[in-house]
Every structure is written in structure tokens, then in C-alpha cells.
């Protein structure tokens, strides 16, 4: 496991597969299809259980080298903690996440939760890290989408298929609260 240090702290690296392998390219190509999106949505429950049980250390998508985190938000209606596995992209001291919802026309629930309560947590490599989410708009978002599409063709397929604005958030580590075990 590798750690990336930044101005606000350290983001652990938890990828353990090979993003350039034939297997990875095949899975990514299938995931970009409607059937692949359906399979991903219906397999998400199992993957969520694996991620939660291993504190963000293991995932079904591990062999393809997908960077995954667990986003822990506060429900805007329920005020309960809700855990969602998400693919992320690194950008300097921040992590970027996007609300594609597997290519569906409606945004995922975590988007509304982050808008209502931008202070949340991520779990990566067994560490719970307090974060603040900031939504990205306009040219800043467009520029980052190009980088995201270059890194994963699945997002290009989602952009072609989705007829709505796709929200993007930057996650920055919050100061003042130490990160630790998800169970502390």
C-alpha cells in the first residue's frame, strides 16, 4: 500500500490490481455498456459489504486496479450515516468524485446528501478520514472531466448516455479532527 502525501495530509493508496491488464481493459469495456452498468449496480451491494467489512481495503473491482473509497455522508432526510462505494480520481491534495450513478438519468442520492451536509468522511485502506466536499462547476468541471475520461473510458460512455448535468465534487481533508480507524 502506498500513501500520497499532500498539504492537508495523506491519502492512502489502496489499488492492488493492474489497471493496464487485458482483464482490466475487458471489464472496463463491458462496464461502459448498458448491460455492464446494470451488472455494476446490481453487484454494488455485494461490493459494498466487502468494502465495509475490510474497511476499504478490498473490493470486487480490485483486480482491475479501480481506485475506490467509501464515502460516508449524512442523509439529508434521515440524518443517518450512509456509506457509498465510489470510484475517485486524485488531483494534488484532493480527491474528485462524480455523480454518474452508473449511467442512470437520475443523480445518486449521495449528491443531495453532500450538498446538504458537505462535511463527511471517506474510508480508505482501513482509515476513516474527515473531509469537506466542494462542488465543482463550469470550466473547472469540464477540464477535469476531460482528464477523467482519458483515465477511464467508462465515464465517456456515461457522458454520452446521460442527459443531465453530472455533478463533480472535490474532497479535501478537514483539519482539526484526526483520521483513524473507521470503528474508533
Distance CA 9, CA 21 (A): 31
Domains of the chain by range and CATH?
25-63 (no CATH), 66-173 (2.30.110.10)
**Res 71 pLDDT > 90:** yes
Mean pLDDT of 160-171: 91
Mean pLDDT taken over the chain: 80
**Res 53 pLDDT > 80:** no
Mean pLDDT of 69-74: 93
Mean pLDDT of 102-124: 93
Q: What is the pLDDT of residue 5?
A: 40
Grade residue 85 by pLDDT with cuts at 50, 70 and 90.
Answer: confident
More confident residue, 10 or 141: 141
CB atoms near residue 167 (< 10 Å) = 21
Q: What is the pLDDT of residue 8?
A: 42
Instruction: Give the pairing type, strands 168-173 and 94-98.
Output: antiparallel
More confident residue, 77 or 13: 77
Reduced DSSP (H G I as helix, E B as strand, rest coil) percent helix, strand, coil of the chain, to 5: 35, 30, 35
**Percentage, residues of the chain above pLDDT 90:** 35
Mean pLDDT of 10-33: 69
Q: Are 181 and 128 in contact (CB under 8 A)?
A: yes
**Res 130 pLDDT > 70:** yes
**Res 24 pLDDT > 70:** no
Mean pLDDT of 13-23: 65
Q: Are 168 and 155 in contact (CB under 8 A)?
A: no
Mean pLDDT of 72-87: 93
Q: Are 61 and 47 in contact (CB under 8 A)?
A: yes
Alpha helices in 18-152 (DSSP H): 22-31, 34-53, 109-116, 138-151
More confident residue, 32 or 18: 32
Mean pLDDT of 18-24: 66
User: What is the pTM assigned to this prediction?
Assistant: 0.76
Amino acid at each position: 500500500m502506498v500513501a500520497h502525501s499532500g498539504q492537508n495530509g495523506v491519502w492512502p493508496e489502496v489499488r492492488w490490481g493492474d489497471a493496464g491488464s487485458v482483464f482490466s481493459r475487458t471489464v472496463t469495456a463491458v462496464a461502459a455498456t448498458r448491460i455492464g452498468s446494470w451488472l455494476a449496480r446490481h453487484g454494488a451491494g455485494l461490493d459494498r459489504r466487502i468494502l465495509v467489512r475490510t474497511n476499504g481495503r478490498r473490493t470486487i473491482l480490485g483486480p482491475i486496479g479501480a481506485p475506490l473509497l467509501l464515502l460516508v455522508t449524512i442523509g439529508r432526510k434521515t440524518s443517518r450515516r450512509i456509506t457509498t462505494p465510489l470510484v475517485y480520481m486524485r488531483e494534488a491534495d484532493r480527491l474528485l468524485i462524480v455523480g454518474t450513478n452508473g449511467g442512470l438519468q437520475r443523480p445518486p442520492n449521495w449528491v443531495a446528501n453532500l450538498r446538504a451536509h458537505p462535511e463527511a468522511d471517506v474510508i480508505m485502506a482501513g482509515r476513516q478520514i474527515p473531509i469537506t466536499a466542494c462542488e465543482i462547476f463550469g470550466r473547472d468541471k469540464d477540464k477535469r472531466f476531460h482528464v477523467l475520461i482519458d483515465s477511464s473510458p467508462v465515464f465517456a460512455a456515461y457522458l454520452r448516455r446521460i442527459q443531465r448535468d453530472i455533478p463533480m465534487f472535490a474532497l479535501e481533508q478537514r483539519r482539526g479532527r484526526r483520521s483513524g480507524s473507521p470503528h474508533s
